[in-house]
Amino acid sequence: MKRCDRQVDIGRRWFLSGGAVAAAGAAAATVMPQKADASPQLARLRYPSNRLANVADLKPNEPLQVAYPDKDAPGVLLKLGKAVPGGAGPDSDIVGFTTTCPHKGFPLAYNSSDKTLNCSGHYSRFDAENGGQEIWGHATQNLPQYQLRIDAKGDIYAEGVDELLYGRLSNVL
Ligand code: FES
């Protein structure tokens, strides 16, 4: 018997004796999905709780300039006069938004006649009464809205933002 034939014969006997089955079982066991021990990390940020103003500082349908979550992130507080999505306060009508356009970062101006925030860059428009929804333009996301809390003294705190601010990899630097 030639050397090559002997090796084939040994391999055949090993296979028939169950060695291959055991090896296949061991291989399968190593690729079977296992339950992970570690729980996945949540992709959440720790936002600061910043006092932006007091309810008494707001006039109906007039923008109050603020900044959140830091001084380099301009925004606005609005008292819209009716309950709206994301609205805080006793009438659920106080909202806050960034005033940096999510398209390419131009500043936004408030239009009190239709309660929209408008971009002079490429004319995107965002509805302040509807969670900053884009109603026209080039932007591919709605306007980031603040999560607000109002305490018993009427102080207005921002404690989060619901979309990524323009030009940032993270809202909290
Ligand atoms: Fe506002 Fe382009 S920067 S629409």
Rg (CA), the chain: 30
Residue type, 21: V
Instruction: Provide the annotated active-site residues.
Output: 103, 122
Tell me what pLDDT residue 30 has: 60
**Residue positions counted in the chain:** 173
Beta strand ranges found along 80-154 (DSSP E): 94-98, 108-111, 116-119, 125-127, 133-136, 146-150
Looking at residue 21, its pLDDT comes to 52
CA-closest candidate to residue 147, choices 99, 77, 90: 77
Q: Cα(162) to centroid of ligand 1, in Å?
A: 19
Determine if ligand 1 sits within 6 Å of the CB of residue 119. yes
Query: Which residues of the chain, if any, have pLDDT below 70?
Result: 1-31, 35-43
**Over the stretch 123-170, which tens digit does the pLDDT of each residue have?**
999 999 999 999 999 999 999 999 999 999 999 999 999 999 999 999
Q: What is the pLDDT of residue 12?
A: 55
Q: What is the pTM of this model?
A: 0.77
pLDDT value, residue 19: 54
pLDDT, residue 5, reads 61
Q: CA-to-CA distance for 95 and 158, rounded, in angstroms?
A: 10
Residues facing residue 78 across a β-bridge: 95
Nearest CA to ligand 1 atom 2: 122
Atom of ligand 1 nearest to the CA of 137: 4
Q: Are 52 and 147 in contact (CB under 8 A)?
A: no
| φ and ψ at residue 21, rounded to 5 degrees | -65, -45
> Quick check: CB of 101 below 6 Å from ligand 1?
yes
Sign of torsion over alpha carbons 42, 45, 51, 56: negative
Tokens of 29: 């066991």
108 CA closest ligand 1 atom index: 1
Give residue 76's pLDDT.
Answer: 98
Whole-angstrom distance between the N-terminal and C-terminal Cα of the chain? 75
Q: Is the CB of 137 under 6 A from ligand 1?
A: yes
Which of 110, 114, 76 is CA-nearest to residue 95?
Answer: 76
Q: Which residue has the tokens 């607000």?
A: 148
Distance separating alpha carbons of residues 1 and 130, to the nearest angstrom:
86
